[in-house]
Amino acid sequence: MKDGVVTIIGSNYFEPICVLLERLEKFEELQSDVQSGVYVNGFSVSICLLAVACLESFVMRVRYIRKADQKDIDKTSVVKYLPKLYQNFPYVNELSEIYILRDCIIHNHLWEMEFSWESDEVSVTNVNKRSSGDTKYSQSVDFHLRQTKILGLSVNPIKIGKLEVTTVLQTMWKILLFLEKNDRNQCYVSAAHFRYKGKMVPFGKIVGMPETCT
């Protein structure tokens, strides 16, 4: 007997994300413009990477279902592929910005930052960026604020924290639901439930978007 499989990870990412979210909630975030704290930062960047990897995996399934040619599979990034595939794709800027965040983490963008302490408050006094981003980075990042222009995601790798986690997960989820709405065969996630805090919970509710669950 012969059988076959297509190697899409897809929703296999959801359970690990839920586990990390539970761990993240146990830690308080530092109120600092320099960093979010060792534990919050570590769990936050891990969740953000998994979320973008999850989206990337589902888009590979879209490419497969849509019979994308080899050039699209090998060389067309997700940021360019989805707007190209769907003329009505509503999350162009948001998609670009979560990939900017991914790049900041995966390439560990390097900043030199000087700061001072006053009454237990930290103030950044000088910043020097030692690594450069690509075109989407230069177009989408406010260098003075050190964050993206639309979603407000920190591009300082050690400042990435709970805000970025919530924003990236919700953006990923909205895009997955958009793909599902267009074709459930390529992406069906709205009914997904996972164990979270001892209960089976819709994944949309876990990421803070209960109104999108069916």
pLDDT at position 42 is: 97
**Element of type H or E holding 16:** helix 14-24
> Using CA atoms, how far apart are residues 132 and 115, in angstroms rounded to an integer?
22
User: Does 166 fall in a domain?
Assistant: yes
Domains contained in the chain, number: 1
User: Does 203 fall in a domain?
Assistant: yes
Of 27, 31, 62, the closest CA to residue 43 belongs to: 27
Q: pTM of the prediction? A: 0.91
Are 102 and 50 contacting, i.e. CB atoms less than 8 angstroms apart?
A: no
pLDDT at position 211 is: 54
User: Does 197 fall in a domain?
Assistant: yes
pLDDT at position 60 is: 94
Domain enclosing residue 164, as ranges: 10-212
User: Does 3 fall in a domain?
Assistant: no
User: Does 73 fall in a domain?
Assistant: yes
Torsion angle, alpha carbons of 98, 101, 103, 109, to 10: 170
CA angle at 153 for the pair 151 and 155, rounded to the nearest 5°: 145
User: Does 2 fall in a domain?
Assistant: no
Instruction: Look up residue 75 and give its amino acid.
Output: K
pLDDT at position 195 is: 93
- The dihedral region occupied by 10, where left means phi > 0, alpha psi between -120 and 50, and beta the remainder, is left
> Using CA atoms, how far apart are residues 58 and 44, in angstroms rounded to an integer?
21
171: tokens are 């953006």
pLDDT along the chain (214 residues), means of 10: 88 96 95 88 98 97 89 87 95 96 92 73 70 79 90 94 97 97 94 93 89 46
User: Does 131 fall in a domain?
Assistant: yes
pLDDT at position 125 is: 62
pLDDT at position 210 is: 62
User: Does 5 fall in a domain?
Assistant: no
